[in-house]
Amino acid sequence: MEHGPAVRRRKLGAELRALRTSVGLTSGEAARLAGWHQSKVSRIETGTSGVKPADVRLLLDVYGVGDPQLRELLLVLSGTGDRAGRHHWWHAYRGVLPPTYRDFISLESQASAMRTLETTVIPGLLQTPEYARAVTAAALEGASEERLDALVEVRLARQDVLRARPPLELSAVLDEAVLRREVGGPGVMTRQLNRLVEAARLPQVRLQVLPFTAGAHIGVTGPFVIFSFSRTSDLDVVVLDHLTSSHYLERKEDLRAYSEAFNALSMHALSPEDSLELIAGTAAGA
C-alpha cells in the first residue's frame, strides 16, 4: 500500500498497459528498454505492487508519451504527494493508522472534490480538536492517551486540504441527527456547531442539512464519500466505511448510483442558507 490505494494502482496499471500495447511493445520488450526484469512490468500493470513516480516517468519515456497532462495524471496515480506538496505526511503515523485509513487520506489529499453524506457525526474535515477527540475515544474505547493524541493530530492535519491552493471542494449533506447528537458535552457541541457555521461560509464548502421532516430517504442505508479528481472522472471512487474496514467502489455503475443518490439527497435537504440558519439556531440552543 506504500505508493497509494489499490484502486489507483489498478487504474495506473491499466493505463500503462494500454500505452504499452498502443506502441506495439510486449511486456518483455518494455522491461528490456527500461532495464528491468519482465516480472516488474507485469506486477505494475496488474496493480499487485506499488510503483514509484520515477518508474512511471521512465515507462512514459519508453512509450514516447509527451502529453504533459497525461503524464501529470499518471504521476498523480502513482502518488506523488498531496495538494499542499507534502509527500505522504501520514506515513509518520503508520504505527497507529490502519492501511485503509492511510488509503483514504491519500485519496483525500489528491482529490479535487469530495461529496459526503454523514448520518452520525460531523465530517472529519470540519471537526474541532475536542469533538474529534470525543468521537475517537468513543470509537476506540480503551485506547491510550498517546494513541488518541496521534489520531486527533491526523484528523487536524487532514483539514489542510481545505486551505490548500487550490483547496478541496467539499459538499456535505448532514442528517439533522448529526447536529442533535451531543458529543463531548454541551460546551464541546456548541463550539463544534459554531465551527460548522464558520465553515459553511467558506467558498469551497457547501453544507446542507437533511431535516427530520424529510422522513425516510436513500441515505438511511449509511454514510458514504465520493472523491473526484480534476481532468478525468476515471479516477473517481466511492468509499464506504464499516466498523473494521473501508470498501472502495470504482465501477462506473456504482459511481453513477452514488452520484445520483447524493444529488437526490441534496434536493431533499435544506438549502445552504436555510441549513446555515438551522445550524446556528441549534448552536444557540445547545
pTM of the predicted model as reported, rounded to 2 decimal places = 0.82
Residue 201 to residue 162: CA distance in whole angstroms? 13
Tell me the three cell numbers of residue 79.
Answer: 502518488
Q: How many whole angstroms separate alpha carbon 32 and alpha carbon 122? A: 52
**pLDDT tens for each residue of the chain, 286 residues long:** 333 467 778 878 888 999 999 999 999 999 999 999 999 999 999 888 778 889 999 999 999 999 887 887 787 777 665 555 566 788 788 888 887 788 888 888 888 999 999 999 999 999 999 999 999 999 999 999 999 999 999 999 999 999 998 999 999 999 999 999 999 999 999 999 999 999 999 999 999 999 999 887 776 778 999 999 876 666 788 998 765 567 888 888 999 999 999 999 999 999 999 999 999 999 988 5
Give the Cα separation of 229 and 270 in Å (integer).
27
Burial tier of 279 (Cβ tally within 10 Å: 0-12, 13-18, 19+): buried
Give Cα separations from 137 to 76, 155, 174, 185, 225 (angstroms). 34, 13, 22, 13, 23
